[in-house]
Amino acid sequence: MSETIKIQFRSADDTTHDVEATIGKSVMEAAVMANVPGIEAECGGCCSCATCHVFSLTQWGEPDEDEDAMLDETASPRRDQSRLSCQIIVRAEMDGAVFVLPEQQ
Amino acid sequence: MSSATVHSGGVVIVGASHGGVQAAAALRQAGWLDAITLISDEDALPYHRPPLSKAFLTATGDDNLMPIKPWAFYETGGISLQLGKRVTSIDAARKTVTFGDETLSYDKLVLATGAAARKLPLPDFTNLHYLRDLSDARRLRPALHAAAKLVVIGGGFIGLEVAATAAKLGKSVTVLEAQSRLLARALPPAVSDFVTQMHRNAKSRVLFNAVVKTVEGTGQTACAVVLEDGRTFPAGLVVIGVGSLPNTELAASAGLTLAEGGILVDGHMRSSNPDIYAIGDCAACHNPFSDQVARLESVQNAVDQAKAAARHITGSDEPFSAVPWFWSDQFDSKIQMAGLPFDGATEILRGDPATGAFSVLHLEDGVLRAAYSINRAADHMAARKLITSGQLLDTGCAGNPDQPLKDCLASAPAGPVGNAST
């Protein structure tokens, strides 16, 4: 079994979803596998569709150039905390991390 | 055993890939409360297809398959997912579909039947592969890992993605393309040339005007691919990617009108029968951006058409009008396309291909109609917006890769001026 941690998604209406996230997989995959509403992930995680937008309450690294470009075109306006969750790889120290979902993808 | 018609009513969706699953999700999101039945002829929980020619083939051990939605999505959403069931007939008059010994009635039927790989008339060699679905990929993966020499027939997206994956695994790769360049229908020459060079840099052979005559073999094993001009390429493994044919047999048997090889649909994805919709690879739809009836094969097209069908079924009149976009990952490069190819484009090259990051823009009357980007995601995203808005571009700015494309609007000589400065 792969090692998992707990992370939380918080919907725009403040509903919270505590989900298991597998270390080494993406935050987006954790949301999809837990059926968290509000993460579309239409492209399956290859940084092509900008439909897995989250606001990350803790900064887990900087977006790379591609992600940065995609974030300029998200359906809900970009903020400082904006990330594409398919590009955040789950690490052990993220246990308890909170990701807020935008109103629109 | 006699079979009775089960009155599901509601929406029955045939085909559970990107289009079918998105149709079910969009119906529930739009507030559809009635039954939804999603029928798949595959056994697997519906999965993302694009990785099948890339990460899935590279992986060993773990299947590394990504479901489009988890089981919980179907369970909690009240979506009856019927796996491993092949719909054999539609009775459009009685509004029923039959699969196995079950017959199900529908109020609205959505055909998301996809397309099948076009087959070449060749013997059934065990080391000859096509790649469309999970079963193909599961068969190809161990063969690819074991092979030394791969010959790919057809330099299209799937063939090239398999070729790139194989080259990364250290295989000797030969790509045989019948046209004079790669992806001639989809890409402008500068982008084709870049893709060719990428494969050649990885020591793969890429041959043009290479028309395959036959594949020779001994017993059940293919040994070599023979061209019309007599050249022969030894192969331990042959992968064929020569396009696809839409799955329209059910539609044809139900008497639906076909066009461009697909099921003809209107702007709401409705076929010639008002209770039957068609979406994705199998649907031929008038595209407002190309002003042509076309069949497009992409995840984006399937997803956006699914949303359009769901909107119409739930009573909205907003038609389908998404800018087509598509991507392909080969080696470490991301190729992104927005819009559709058309004749007579004014071409702007944005950036130097030698740097490994550039875009080719195709304009008509100063308006962006299509963009082809290599490792320029910002250009691609800006292009999707600019094609939608139809705003005039400042061509000087658009040709300068250091200026963000999204800021390259011409100061319009006519029309609303707003707070334009001099």
Q: Please state the rounded mean pLDDT for residues B70-93.
A: 96
Instruction: Name which of B51, B66, B381 is nearest A69 (Cβ-Cβ).
Output: B381
Asked whether residue A58 carries a pLDDT value surpassing 70, the answer given is: yes
| Residue among A38, A8, A26, A28 at smallest CA distance from A102 | A38
For an interface test with A, the pick among B28, B29, B48 (most A C-beta atoms closer than 10 Å) comes out as: B48
Q: Could you tell me where the DSSP H helices lie in B83-177?
A: 134-146, 157-168
For an interface test with A, the pick among B381, B406, B407 (most A C-beta atoms closer than 10 Å) comes out as: B381
Taking the mean position of all CA atoms in its chain, how far away is CA A33? 12
Asked whether residue B143 carries a pLDDT value surpassing 90, the answer given is: yes
Six-digit token string for B273:
């029968």
Asked whether residue A2 carries a pLDDT value surpassing 80, the answer given is: no
Neighbour order of strands in the sheet with B212-218: B212-218, B221-227, B232-234
A58 Cα to chain B: minimum distance (Å) = 25
pLDDT at B100: 87
pLDDT at B65: 84
Asked whether residue B353 carries a pLDDT value surpassing 50, the answer given is: yes
With an 8 Å Cβ cutoff, are A44 and B48 in contact?
Answer: yes
A52 touches chain B (CB under 8 A): no
pLDDT at A1: 54
pLDDT digits (tens, 9 = 90+) for B203-220: 999 999 999 999 999 999
- The count of other CB atoms within 10 Å of the CB of residue B218 is 8
Six-digit token string for A99:
């990701």
Model confidence band, residue B299 (pLDDT cutoffs 50, 70, 90): very high
B170 Cα to chain A: minimum distance (Å) = 23
**Which residues in B lie closer than 8 A to residue A33 (C-beta atoms)?**
67, 70
**Which residues in A lie closer than 8 A to residue B375 (C-beta atoms)?**
66
Partners of B284 in the β-ladder: B264
Q: Is B285 helix (H, G, I), strand (E, B) or coil?
A: strand
Q: How far apart are CA A100 and CA A54, in angstroms?
A: 6
Partners of B129 in the β-ladder: B239
pLDDT at B417: 41
pLDDT at B398: 97
For an interface test with B, the pick among A73, A87, A104 (most B C-beta atoms closer than 10 Å) comes out as: A73
Asked whether residue B29 carries a pLDDT value surpassing 70, the answer given is: yes
B381 touches chain A (CB under 8 A): yes
pLDDT at A42: 83
pLDDT at B413: 52
With an 8 Å Cβ cutoff, are B382 and A73 in contact?
Answer: yes
Model confidence band, residue B1 (pLDDT cutoffs 50, 70, 90): very low
pLDDT at B8: 64
Query: pTM of the full predicted structure?
Result: 0.92
SS in 3 state form for A2-46?
Answer: CCEEEEEEECCCCCEEEEEEECCCEHHHHHHHCCCCCCCCCCCCC
pLDDT at B2: 41
B73 touches chain A (CB under 8 A): yes
Please, are residues A51 and A41 in contact by the beta-carbon 8 Å criterion?
Answer: yes
**Which residues in B lie closer than 8 A to residue A46 (C-beta atoms)?**
50, 327, 329, 334
pLDDT at B376: 94
Model confidence band, residue B53 (pLDDT cutoffs 50, 70, 90): very high
For an interface test with B, the pick among A46, A53, A82, A84 (most B C-beta atoms closer than 10 Å) comes out as: A46
Model confidence band, residue A45 (pLDDT cutoffs 50, 70, 90): confident
pLDDT at B416: 45
- The count of other CB atoms within 10 Å of the CB of residue B416 is 6
pLDDT at A12: 86
Asked whether residue B28 carries a pLDDT value surpassing 80, the answer given is: yes
Q: Please state the rounded mean pLDDT for residues B250-266.
A: 96
User: Chain B: residue nearest A68 by CA?
Assistant: B378
pLDDT digits (tens, 9 = 90+) for B121-130: 999 999 999 9
How many pairs of residues across A and B have Cβ atoms under 8 Å apart? Answer: 59
The total number of residues shown for chain B amounts to: 422
Model confidence band, residue B420 (pLDDT cutoffs 50, 70, 90): very low
Model confidence band, residue B348 (pLDDT cutoffs 50, 70, 90): very high
Phi, psi angles (nearest 5°) of residue A10: -120, 120
B296 Cα to chain A: minimum distance (Å) = 16
What average pLDDT does the structure give for chain B? 93
pLDDT digits (tens, 9 = 90+) for B181-205: 999 989 999 999 999 999 999 999 9
pLDDT at A23: 95
With an 8 Å Cβ cutoff, are A47 and B381 in contact?
Answer: no
With an 8 Å Cβ cutoff, are A73 and B48 in contact?
Answer: no
Asked whether residue B48 carries a pLDDT value surpassing 50, the answer given is: yes
With an 8 Å Cβ cutoff, are A48 and B327 in contact?
Answer: yes
With an 8 Å Cβ cutoff, are A48 and B378 in contact?
Answer: no
**Which residues in B lie closer than 8 A to residue A50 (C-beta atoms)?**
381
Q: Is B283 helix (H, G, I), strand (E, B) or coil?
A: strand
Partners of A26 in the β-ladder: A89
With an 8 Å Cβ cutoff, are A32 and B69 in contact?
Answer: yes
B337 touches chain A (CB under 8 A): no
For an interface test with B, the pick among A46, A48, A68 (most B C-beta atoms closer than 10 Å) comes out as: A48
User: Chain A: residue nearest B384 by CA?
Assistant: A73
Cβ-Cβ contacts under 8 Å for B10 (sequence gap 6 or more): B32, B34, B35, B36, B37, B106, B107, B108
A44 Cα to chain B: minimum distance (Å) = 6
Model confidence band, residue A40 (pLDDT cutoffs 50, 70, 90): confident
Instruction: Name which of B66, B70, B381 is nearest A44 (Cβ-Cβ).
Output: B66
* B 398-417 residues inside an 8 A Cβ radius of A: 406
Strands B258-259 and B237-240: unpaired
B100 touches chain A (CB under 8 A): no
